[in-house]
C-alpha cells in the first residue's frame, strides 16, 4: 500500500479536509478582530479587521481571562505531571514486575475506563462541598490526577521498550527498586512520558463537565468555565466572546505547532496497541 503514490485528486480532497479543519479556527480570529456590529451583517466578514487588540483587552479584563489562563495552566500542568509520574510507576510494575494479583488488578484498571464520569459527579460534588473545596483548584486537580488510560499506555510502551536484561543487570549490582526506577525505567520511558504528558495536558486543558460543576465564574474558573460565562452573555459582545475563545485556544495551538508530530504519533501508537 505504501507504494501507492497519491494522485492529484487525493491532494485536492485532503486540502478540502484541511480547510474544513482549520477554517473555524481561522474564522474565530477573524471574528475576534471585528466588532459586534460588523458580525451582525451579511455577508459575514472573510478577512481581519482592526479590533483584535481591543477585543482581547476587554475579554482579558472583563472575563478575567488572565487569571483563568493561569488557573488552567496550573490545573493542566499538575494533572499532566501527576498522570505521567503515577502512570509510569504503575505501568512499569504491570509491564515488568511479577506480583500476586497483577493480572486481575490490570483488568480492574482497564475496567475503570468504562465508568462514565456522570456516574460519580453527584457524590464527588458532595465530597468536595464537605471539604469546602468548591471553587478551589484542587477540586478539579485531585479527581483527575491519575487515569487508567495513562497506566495502560505506559504499560504497553514499557513491555517492548524496556529490556528485562537492563533491570536484571541493575538488580545484580544490588540496586533497589527505587534506583531501578530512577536509573533504568525513567530514561527508557522518556519518549512515552513526553507523549502521554502532552495528551494529558490537552485533555485536562479542555476538560469541561467536571470543572463546570465544581467551579464557578466567581471563584477560580478555568478557561473553559470562564468561556461559559462569556457565552452566557455577561458580556454580550460577540467579537469579545470570539476573542475569549481565541485566548483559550491559542496556547494549545502553540503546543500543537511545536509538538504536533509527536502527538499524532502518540495517538497512532496508543491506537494500534489498544
> Nine-digit cell at 196?
502521554
Radius of gyration of the chain (CA): 23
Angle between helices 238-273 and 52-62 (to 10 degrees): 80
182 binds another protein (CB under 8 A): no
Total residues at interface with another protein (CB under 8 A): 112
Q: Is 256 near another protein (CB under 8 A)? A: yes
- Within 10 A of 247 (CB to CB), how many other CB atoms are there? 23
In whole angstroms, the minimum distance from the beta carbon of 50 to another protein comes to 19
Residue 75 near residue 204 (C-beta atoms within 8 A): yes
Torsion sign (Cα): 220, 215, 120, 199:
negative
Nearest alpha carbon to residue 160 among 221, 91, 249, 114? 91
Binding to another protein in span 190-249, by CB under 8 A? 202, 205-206, 208-209, 212-213, 223-224, 227-228, 230-233, 238, 241-242, 244-246, 248-249
- Burial label for 232, CB within 10 Å (0-12, 13-18, 19+), is exposed
Question: Does 159 help bind another protein (rule: CB under 8 A)?
Answer: no
Residues 32-51 that bind another protein (CB under 8 A): 39-44
Site string for another protein, 76-105 (x = CB under 8 A): ----------xx-xx-xxx--xxxx-x--x
The sign one gets for the Cα dihedral 258, 262, 268, 273 is negative
Is residue 107 close enough to count as binding another protein by CB under 8 A? no
Nearer Cβ to another protein (61/169): 169
Least separation in angstroms between residue 31's CB and another protein is: 6
Tell me if 260 contacts another protein by CB under 8 A: yes
CB of 35 to another protein, least distance (A): 13
| Dihedral pair phi/psi, residue 195, rounded to 5° | -65, -45
Options 84, 137, 146, 193; binder of another protein; rule CB under 8 A: 146
Tell me: does residue 152 bind another protein (CB under 8 A). Answer: no
Which residue's entry shows cell 465544581?
A: 214
| Position 131 contacts another protein (CB under 8 A) | no
What torsion, rounded to 10 degrees, do the Cα atoms 129, 132, 137, 139 define? -30
Kindly report the number of other CB atoms within 10 A of residue 13's CB atom: 12
Shortest distance in whole angstroms from residue 174 CB to another protein: 6
Q: Does 124 bind another protein (CB under 8 A)?
A: yes
Q: Which is nearer to another protein, 133 or 161 (CB)?
A: 133
**Binding of residue 56 to another protein (CB under 8 A):** no
Q: How far is the CB of 105 from another protein (least distance, A)?
A: 6
Q: How far is the CB of 53 from another protein (least distance, A)?
A: 20
On whether the CB atoms of residues 125 and 214 are closer than 8 A, the answer is yes
Amino acid at each position: 500500500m505504501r507504494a501507492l503514490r497519491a494522485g492529484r485528486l487525493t491532494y485536492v480532497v485532503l486540502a478540502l479536509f484541511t480547510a474544513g479543519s482549520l477554517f473555524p479556527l481561522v474564522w474565530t480570529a477573524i471574528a475576534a478582530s471585528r466588532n459586534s456590529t460588523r458580525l451582525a451583517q451579511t455577508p459575514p466578514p472573510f478577512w481581519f479587521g482592526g479590533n483584535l487588540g481591543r477585543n482581547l483587552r476587554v475579554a482579558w479584563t472583563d472575563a478575567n481571562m488572565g487569571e483563568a489562563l493561569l488557573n488552567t495552566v496550573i490545573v493542566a500542568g499538575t494533572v499532566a505531571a501527576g498522570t505521567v509520574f503515577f502512570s509510569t510507576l504503575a505501568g512499569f510494575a504491570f509491564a515488568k514486575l511479577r506480583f500476586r494479583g497483577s493480572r486481575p488488578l490490570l483488568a480492574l484498571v482497564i475496567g475503570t475506563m468504562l465508568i462514565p464520569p456522570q456516574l460519580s459527579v453527584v457524590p464527588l460534588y458532595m465530597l468536595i462541598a464537605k471539604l469546602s473545596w468548591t471553587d478551589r483548584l484542587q477540586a478539579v486537580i485531585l479527581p483527575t490526577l491519575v487515569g487508567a488510560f495513562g497506566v495502560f499506555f505506559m504499560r504497553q510502551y514499557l513491555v517492548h521498550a524496556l529490556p528485562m536484561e537492563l533491570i536484571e543487570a541493575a538488580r545484580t549490582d544490588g540496586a533497589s527498586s527505587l534506583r531501578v526506577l530512577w536509573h533504568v525505567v525513567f530514561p527508557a520511558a522518556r519518549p512515552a512520558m513526553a507523549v502521554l504528558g502532552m495528551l494529558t495536558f490537552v485533555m485536562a486543558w479542555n476538560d469541561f463537565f467536571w470543572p463546570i460543576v465544581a467551579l464557578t465564574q466567581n471563584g477560580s474558573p478555568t478557561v473553559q468555565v470562564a468561556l461559559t460565562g462569556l457565552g452566557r452573555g455577561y458580556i454580550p459582545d460577540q467579537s469579545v466572546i470570539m476573542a475569549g475563545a481565541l485566548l483559550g485556544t491559542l496556547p494549545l495551538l502553540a503546543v500543537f505547532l511545536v509538538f504536533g508530530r509527536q502527538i499524532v504519533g502518540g495517538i497512532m501508537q496508543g491506537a494500534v496497541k489498544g
